[in-house]
Structure 1
């Protein structure tokens, strides 16, 4: 899975856990741990450009400030790009590709929307990541994913993984067939990790949501050279491959959003 998506997932899972601890007047059990620096900026549009105003130097400071502004939950927001020139499953390997991912802070006064920006620092030889608040106290953006129960997306994903396994097997792609089968097992089995091995925020999720996240991580085959995206076929097989692959990408994104958003300390309508 691309680092930017994985980080959005971590930010919402850990953020809801910490917001819950703040609401209960408890100290958080853990600190945020990211492999690269993460800062937060308030973006204000002026004419045709954005003015960047420092908001928080790290995730914990960000959460505490959001809490002070009335934020009670974080949610993931995903929307397909609908780009007719390149499918999201292919563009996801490029910075900013793969559809639109936002972190939503739900407040009594509206919602704030944060988008990540990844820049490679030649000087420091690592990624520099900043989240910018592009909307503040905004009406909640519509998303059909919010109304999907975990059991529904789990059933749809199981059915589709069967189709992926059949296609991969029939086209001599045994390695990918085993990958899809393992993802299917993840949806049918209790967590393979012990309670001690399960990350704190993940352990707070219902078992079905843990299964969805595990399956999505395993079945995420959308990369560059050597990945599922790199395959080509002839005739009708190519059309079937593209249809199945695009549908899998959308199903996995939906599973991620449904599972991660269940981590809110109170139901978010």
Structure 2
């Protein structure tokens, strides 16, 4: 899975845990960990440009400040790019590609929306990550993923993974067939990654949602050279491959949103 998505997952999972701790007057920085350091900027639209104002130098300070502004919960929001020239599952390998991810901060006065920006620092030889608040106290953005129950996306994934396994096996892609079959078995047997293997905290999640995130991590085959995206077929097989692949990408992103958003301190309607 791309680092930017993993970062957003971490931000929401840890964020909901920390918001709960702050609400109980028990904040702690000790366990707040992220794949990449991140800073936070308040962005204000001025004519045709954006004005950037420092908001917080690190995630914990960000969460503490949000809590002071009335933050009740964090949620993930995903929207496909609708790019007709390149599918999102292929564009995901490019910075900012693969669809649009937002971190939503739910407040009684409206919602704030934060988007990450990743820049490579030649000097430090690492990614620099900044989140910008692009909307503040805004009416909640609509998303069809909000009302999907975890057991529904699990059932849809199981059905689709059967198709993926069959297609891969029938086209001499045994490694991928085993990957899809392993994911299907994981969803069927309520298995999940061990604590050492988990790239994010899951202690606040129900078992089914932990299972969904583990399944996404195993089934995420979208990348560059040598990945599932790198395959080509002839005739009708190519059309079937593209349809199956695009559907899998959308299902996995939906599973991420459904699982991660269940970590909210209280149910978010």
TM-score above 0.5: yes
- Cα pair 2:161 2:184 within 8 Å, conserved: yes
Deviation at 1:41, TM superposition (A): 0.2
- Cα pair 1:17 1:201 within 8 Å, conserved: no
Q: Counterparts in 2 of 1:139-150, with a 5 A limit?
A: 139-150=139-150
CA distance in 2, matches of 1:99, 1:196: 29
User: What is the CA RMSD across the aligned residues, in angstroms?
Assistant: 1.6
Deviation at 1:199, TM superposition (A): 7.8
Unpaired segments ≥5 residues, structure 2: none
Deviation at 1:194, TM superposition (A): 5.7
CA distance in 1, matches of 2:35, 2:167: 37
1:253 aligns with 2:259: no
Q: What is aligned with 2:47?
A: 47
Call closer, same or farther: CA 1:222–1:196 in 2, change over 3 Å: closer
Q: What is aligned with 1:183?
A: 183
Call closer, same or farther: CA 1:200–1:6 in 2, change over 3 Å: closer
Call closer, same or farther: CA 1:159–1:207 in 2, change over 3 Å: same
Runs of 4+ displaced beyond 6 Å = 195-200
What's the TM-score, normalizing by structure 2? 0.96
- Cα pair 2:75 2:264 within 8 Å, conserved: yes
Q: Counterparts in 2 of 1:209-248, with a 5 A limit?
A: 209-248=209-248
Deviation at 1:35, TM superposition (A): 4.0
CA distance in 1, matches of 2:239, 2:196: 45
1:107 aligns with 2:76: no
Deviation at 1:203, TM superposition (A): 1.6
Deviation at 1:186, TM superposition (A): 1.8
Call closer, same or farther: CA 1:199–1:30 in 2, change over 3 Å: farther
CA distance in 1, matches of 2:74, 2:92: 23
Deviation at 1:8, TM superposition (A): 0.3
Call closer, same or farther: CA 1:82–1:199 in 2, change over 3 Å: closer
Where 2:214 maps in the other structure, the secondary structure is helix
CA distance in 2, matches of 1:263, 1:30: 19
Call closer, same or farther: CA 1:34–1:112 in 2, change over 3 Å: same
Q: What is aligned with 1:152?
A: 152
Q: Counterparts in 2 of 1:64-75, with a 5 A limit?
A: 64-75=64-75
Where 1:202 maps in the other structure, the secondary structure is coil
Q: What is aligned with 2:5?
A: 5
Where 2:114 maps in the other structure, the secondary structure is strand
Q: Counterparts in 2 of 1:79-158, with a 5 A limit?
A: 79-158=79-158
- Cα pair 2:37 2:129 within 8 Å, conserved: yes
Call closer, same or farther: CA 1:174–1:195 in 2, change over 3 Å: closer
Unpaired segments ≥5 residues, structure 1: none
Deviation at 1:193, TM superposition (A): 5.0
CA distance in 2, matches of 1:153, 1:68: 35
- Cα pair 2:10 2:200 within 8 Å, conserved: no
What's the TM-score, normalizing by structure 1? 0.96
Q: What is aligned with 1:163?
A: 163
Deviation at 1:189, TM superposition (A): 2.4
Q: What is aligned with 1:60?
A: 60
Deviation at 1:200, TM superposition (A): 8.1
Deviation at 1:114, TM superposition (A): 0.2
Call closer, same or farther: CA 1:192–1:166 in 2, change over 3 Å: same
